[in-house]
Amino acid sequence: MSQSFDRLFDARGLNCPMPLVNARKQAGQLETGQILKVIASDAGSMADFQGWVKIARNVELLGQETESMDGESVYIHYIKRIA
């Protein structure tokens, strides 16, 4: 997926709950319509971001990907500010 984005948050090396806590903080600073790309190394972030956007009112999850980066699996989340 070649999704464009407005801001990048590299959360590699951070353990739960920090990828989500900080991604949420950064999403709060986006303008409506802007997109945040989060790169996390925590595999649990996949389900956590899905659960979070279900309850959060101002964001939606455009997509998620798993990639290999520097020899390790990373979990990528595209979050769009919608309100």
Residues marked active site are found at: 16
48 vs 70: CA distance, rounded Å: 24
Residue with Cβ nearer another protein (1 or 36): 36
Q: Does residue 16 belong to the site contacting another protein (CB under 8 A)?
A: yes
Give the neighbor-by-neighbor strand order of the sheet with 59-69. 7-11, 35-40, 72-81, 59-69
Residue with Cβ nearer another protein (15 or 66): 15
Chain contacts with another protein (rule: CB under 8 A)? 15-17, 20-21, 24-25, 28, 44, 47-48, 51-52, 55-56
